[in-house]
Amino acid sequence: MIPYGRQYIDEEDIRSVIEILRSDFITQGPKVEEFERALAEYCGATYAVAFNSGTSALYCAYRALGIKEGDSFITTPITFTATVSMGVMLGAKPIFCDVEEDTGNMDVNLLEELITQNTKLVVPVHYAGHPVNMQKLWEIAQRHNLWVVEDACHALGSSYKGYKTGSCKYSHITVFSFHPVKHITTGEGGAALTNDRDLYEKLLQCRNHGIRRGEDWEYSVEFPSFNFRITDIQCALGLSQLKKLSTFVERRRKVAEFYKSRLSNNPHLDLPVEKPYAFHSYHLFPIRLRDEKRRREVFRRLRQSGIFVQVHYIPVYWHPFLNYPKGLCPVAERFYSKEVSLPIYPSIKDEELYYVVEKLEEILSD
């Protein structure tokens, strides 16, 4: 089977984990801060806080900004549910901005008309690894005194106008995920980066039960929270993976170039783009079928051929926990109806890529 995504683990990664298992600290030790410093340095941010998942990082980012019941936040429907559900968990109401047809990203031109007196936050999602037009979004947010959290769970290694995603050049907090299908993995894990000291301290508290440390044994719980801590075992793996990130992104981009070279003239498909302001890190390679009625057939036949394609994503507001009316974001719904994600990951073999393309072309030609 060829999956749509998977981790790459080498002997260096394995040795780094074994070293921690033989050490004094397997959690709450020095590797966590070491990983956080390395990640912040790579992205060009001042602070990083590592979490046990990207979902936890999103929750604590929203909480650090004071998002609460009665507030609303604007985001995209083409995302994993965590982007939205973590705000809903805090009592806030999601407002959905439609997307660009070619990138699947939030259409920033539609953002301002969605802002109300209750809007406190905008959450752009860098879908598939292609950055949103952040400078324009930031200018709108600044005019309306809104917080900005970048959901960059797809986009480690990408850049916007020369600034690495995670630098928080045009946001208050940026969130990453380290799930095995992402650019680097810690097994499960995530992080929130910021340049603001106060937000950094709130993120640390939210990760660890709301605790603020005092002198000696003393501590106080300033607000109730959860145990969102990541282990030293995971961070040792993350540090080892981070050393290979540039190579991983380079390989993903070569895979994307291969798909484009072979499929760009196919009359049945539209392919991902890379806008002039963006350096795409290709977490996903989302193709769109021009005949959406064939999507399920193509999906099933590829899987029957051992190619485990996926679909990203069902519009979030269709899910029962929200159940907003269909038709709310027509471009997003059209994007979803056509999208299929092809396999893309650093260890995919060239012969597997040829097989994917040949099978896809064969199915489309029927």
User: Residue 261's pLDDT is what?
Assistant: 98
**Cα 106 to Cα 74, 95, 269, distances in angstroms:** 10, 12, 22
Q: What are phi and psi of 226, to 5 degrees?
A: -120, 175
User: Residue 113's pLDDT is what?
Assistant: 98
Catalytic positions are: 182
Query: What's 77's DSSP letter?
Result: S
> What is the C-alpha separation between 226 and 208, in angstroms, rounded?
6
Q: Map out the domains of the chain with their CATH numbers.
A: 2-242 (3.40.640.10), 245-365 (3.90.1150.10)
Q: What are phi and psi of 259, to 5 degrees?
A: -60, -45
> What is the C-alpha separation between 352 and 116, in angstroms, rounded?
49
- The SS3 assignment for 19 reads helix
User: Residue 323's pLDDT is what?
Assistant: 85
Residue numbers in the chain where pLDDT is lower than 70? none
Q: pTM of the predicted model, to two decimals?
A: 0.98
User: Residue 236's pLDDT is what?
Assistant: 98
- Structural contact between residues 228 and 51, judged by C-beta atoms closer than 8 angstroms: yes
